[in-house]
């Protein structure tokens, strides 16, 4: 059935409602918004459309970022006044200056915020993007990731209780969603060589990456037989970090297992050589997400997923 849209403020409004199949009686979901994902300018950054002060802009789709940032270059294009903050924002490439700005209105998918303060990041100034949309915005509802078809959908489920929310398949796997109180970045338990660790589901990462300290705990090092350089990675911050590839015995998430996967590894130490303090040892990037259909069911604190086919862990330059 179709419902009338409700006014959108800082929360999500209803657009379309559907019966859930398979599901228990009365279980339905509401599609709040469906959005196309693009890669403008042949860049390797996933974009969705949003609005800043009434102007339509490209925004980086980044579930791996704990918060949403406006970008300084866009604020300057719109002549928005900014105030420099003392704290900086750390990324894989180092640290970036952070500002704050009050905006008249920001709209992302079904969410619309008016007269609100936003953090502004001095990064990606070359990209032509206006903002980076993080987990704080993206996880306000259940989020379905169909990156193989360049699409995401915001959903809200009704009267489903503990029933599966993977309406597209009776065989979908599921794992617990382990987001932290201070961060909405979606975390799941995975197993590499049988050892449990947490992985972040990160639409902003081109490929899945294992932290070097985790690899070394498993006895795999950059100079181990079979390890080889794999270029560099960059992100927030002016620097870059070297990557290397190595073959491991196994990878598993839920009931899905991959034997002898070749994984990309990165040393996430900062400029001072100190390890960055993160809650996870691995990132599941767009290579994983393009080979799976994924539902971040925040309403149940679960992640549902099905394998679509193809190579799960790609080369960094693929």
**CA distance linking residue 60 with residue 172, whole number of Å:** 28
And the tokens for 309?
Answer: 């086919």
Answer yes or no: do 177 and 133 share one domain.
no
* Domain edge (last residue) among 80, 115, 138: 138
Residue ranges in the chain assigned as alpha helix (H): 72-77, 135-138, 212-217, 286-290
The secondary element (H helix, E strand) that includes residue 272 is none
Q: With a threshold of 0.95, does the pTM exceed it?
A: no
Number of structural domains the chain divides into: 2
Q: What is the per-residue pLDDT across 208-245, written as a single tens digit (0 to 9) for each?
A: 999 999 999 999 999 899 889 877 765 555 556 788 99
Answer yes or no: do 196 and 133 share one domain.
no
Q: What is the per-residue pLDDT across 141-191, written as a single tens digit (0 to 9) for each?
A: 999 999 999 999 999 999 999 999 999 999 999 999 997 888 899 999 999
Q: What is the per-residue pLDDT across 18-53, written as a single tens digit (0 to 9) for each?
A: 444 444 567 899 999 999 999 988 678 899 999 999
271-297: buried (b, 16+ CB within 10 Å) or exposed (e) per residue? eeeeeeeeebbbbbbbbbbbbbbbbbb
> Which pLDDT belongs to residue 7?
29
User: Does some domain include residue 131?
Assistant: yes
The whole-angstrom distance between residue 79's C-alpha and the CA centroid of its chain comes to: 29
The secondary element (H helix, E strand) that includes residue 159 is none
162-176, 258-272, 300-314: lowest mean pLDDT where?
258-272
204: left (phi over 0), alpha (psi -120 to 50) or beta: alpha
Answer yes or no: do 185 and 95 share one domain.
no
Answer yes or no: do 303 and 185 share one domain.
yes
Answer yes or no: do 97 and 177 share one domain.
no
User: Does some domain include residue 162?
Assistant: no
For residue 294, the enclosing domain spans: 172-307
């Amino acid at each position: 059935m179709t419902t009338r849209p409700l006014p959108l403020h800082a929360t999500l409004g209803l657009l379309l409602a559907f019966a859930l199949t398979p599901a228990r009686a009365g279980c339905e979901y509401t599609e709040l918004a469906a959005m196309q994902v693009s890669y403008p300018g042949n860049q390797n950054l996933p974009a969705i459309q949003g609005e800043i002060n009434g102007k339509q802009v490209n925004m980086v789709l980044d579930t791996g970022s704990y918060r949403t940032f406006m970008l300084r270059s866009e604020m300057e294009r719109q002549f928005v006044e900014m105030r420099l903050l003392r704290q900086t924002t750390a990324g894989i490439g180092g640290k970036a200056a952070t500002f704050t700005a009050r905006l008249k209105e920001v709209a992302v998918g079904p969410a619309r915020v008016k007269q609100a303060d936003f953090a502004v990041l001095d990064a990606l100034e070359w990209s032509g993007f206006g903002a980076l949309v993080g987990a704080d915005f993206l996880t306000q509802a259940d989020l379905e990731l169909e990156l193989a078809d360049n699409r995401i959908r915001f959903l809200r489920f009704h009267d489903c209780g503990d029933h599966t929310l993977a309406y597209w398949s009776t065989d979908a796997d599921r794992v617990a969603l382990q987001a932290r109180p201070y961060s909405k970045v979606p975390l799941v338990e995975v197993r590499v060589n049988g050892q449990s660790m947490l992985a972040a589901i990160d639409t902003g990462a081109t490929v899945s990456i294992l932290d070097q300290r985790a690899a070394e705990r498993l006895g795999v090092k950059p100079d181990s037989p079979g390890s080889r350089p794999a270029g560099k990675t960059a992100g927030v911050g002016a620097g870059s970090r070297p990557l290397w590839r190595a073959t491991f015995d196994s990878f598993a998430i839920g009931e899905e297992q991959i034997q002898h996967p070749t994984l990309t590894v990165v040393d996430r130490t900062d400029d001072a050589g100190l390890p960055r303090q993160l809650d996870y040892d691995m990132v599941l990037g767009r290579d994983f997400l393009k080979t799976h259909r994924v539902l971040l069911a925040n309403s149940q604190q679960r992640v549902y997923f099905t394998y679509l086919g193809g190579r799960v862990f790609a080369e960094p330059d693929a």
